[in-house]
Amino acid sequence: MHSTVSAAALVALIPLAAAHGFVQNVNAGGKDFKLQGPNWVYGSTQDAGWRAGNQDNGFVASDAATLASNQIACHKPLANAIGNAPKQNAAQPGQGPSIPVAAGSPVTVTWNTWPDSHHGPVMNYLAKCPGKCADLADASGLKFFKISQAGLTNPNAANNGGWATDDLIKNNLKNTVTIPSNIAAGEYVLRHEILALHSAGSAGGAQFYPQCINIAVSGGGSANPAGTAGPALYKATDPGVTINIYQKLAGYTIPGPAVIGGAARAFFKKFTA
């Protein structure tokens, strides 16, 4: 997730920036593709990650109005290069080459950090681009279909630590998702997302952290799954969005559409120190 910020503003935002994270690396086909952080500057190397105006590593809010906007698709609006007025109501696509991925193969995303207090699910979506993803103006025309999800993985874990985010932290901040083997070749936006529920006991308290990455899928079949536009993915009233996670939970309903048929279950790849 990328954005611009002045040196003075960056200093002012250091305490906030330390609170959350962003996807800093993608591994596909055995190769690492580094993504720039939210404090990139013009002239930096272009890459496949989408650019957004979240210099504080902040979240997309879960109030009804925000969830019905394009912000939820690929994060906050990009600030205009001159001044701070929003240029549009959605992030802009990465302008570098899309990451090559073979259908049926794993993709591992790595966060730079994640606070252990921010428990919640981890989800992965794809959206087919009509041509090159880098040519899109924004995410408003994309339709996302879910390819993996993990939520409450251990209801009996101590200190409320049985969530997919806790598994991500234990596995060196890595989450691996398999690109479905039957989807048609072409360029897609991989929408990787954490939903933090530590303040979700009241309406509007949940925090969405979507991260979008352009990939180019080769091989595969002919499947073109139907998708859902970003503003229709979630509602503020969804049981998995407004929930008190500090009570005893027997289960948890992950919000959003169901995982498409034929998609592999999400897993957290094991790494040793």
Residue 250, domain member (yes or no):
no
Residue 37: band (very low, low, confident or very high) from pLDDT cuts 50, 70, 90 = low
Q: How many Cβ atoms from other residues are within 10 Å of residue 161's Cβ?
A: 15
**What's the pLDDT tens digit per position in 105-142?**
999 999 999 999 999 999 999 999 999 999 998 899 99
What pLDDT is attached to residue 221?
94
What pLDDT is attached to residue 158?
82
Residue 205, domain member (yes or no):
yes
Residue 13, domain member (yes or no):
no
DSSP labels for 65-106? HHHTSTHHHH-SPPBPSSSSSBSSSSPBPP-SPPEEEETT-E
Per-residue CA distances from 99 to 213, 217, 225 (Å): 8, 8, 21
Are 56 and 137 a contacting pair, CB within 8 Å? no
From 36-40, 78-82, 170-174, 217-221, the region with the lowest mean pLDDT? 78-82
Cβ neighbourhood burial of 107 (10 Å; 0-12, 13-18, 19+):
buried
Q: Mean pLDDT for the chain?
A: 83
Cα separation, 68 vs 76, in Å, equals 13
What pLDDT is attached to residue 165?
97
What pLDDT is attached to residue 124?
98
**What is the H or E stretch that residue 8 is in?**
helix 7-17
What pLDDT is attached to residue 111?
94
Residue 221, domain member (yes or no):
yes
Residue 135, domain member (yes or no):
yes
What range does the domain containing 226 cover? 59-73+97-232
Average pLDDT over residues 143-151: 97
Split into its structural domains, the chain has a count of 1
Identify the CATH number of the domain in which residue 216 sits: 2.70.50.70
Residue 31, domain member (yes or no):
no
Residue 133, domain member (yes or no):
yes
Residue 186, domain member (yes or no):
yes
**What's the pLDDT tens digit per position in 228-261?**
999 999 999 999 999 999 998 989 999 999 999 8
What pLDDT is attached to residue 269?
40
Sorted by sequence, the CB contacts under 8 Å of residue 35 that are 6+ apart come out as 1, 2, 22, 23, 24, 25, 26, 47, 48, 49, 213
223 has which bridge partners? 183
Half-sphere exposure of 40 (CA within 13 A, CB side): 24
What pLDDT is attached to residue 87?
43
Are 125 and 191 a contacting pair, CB within 8 Å? yes
Residue 38: band (very low, low, confident or very high) from pLDDT cuts 50, 70, 90 = low
Q: For the whole model, what pTM was predicted? A: 0.85
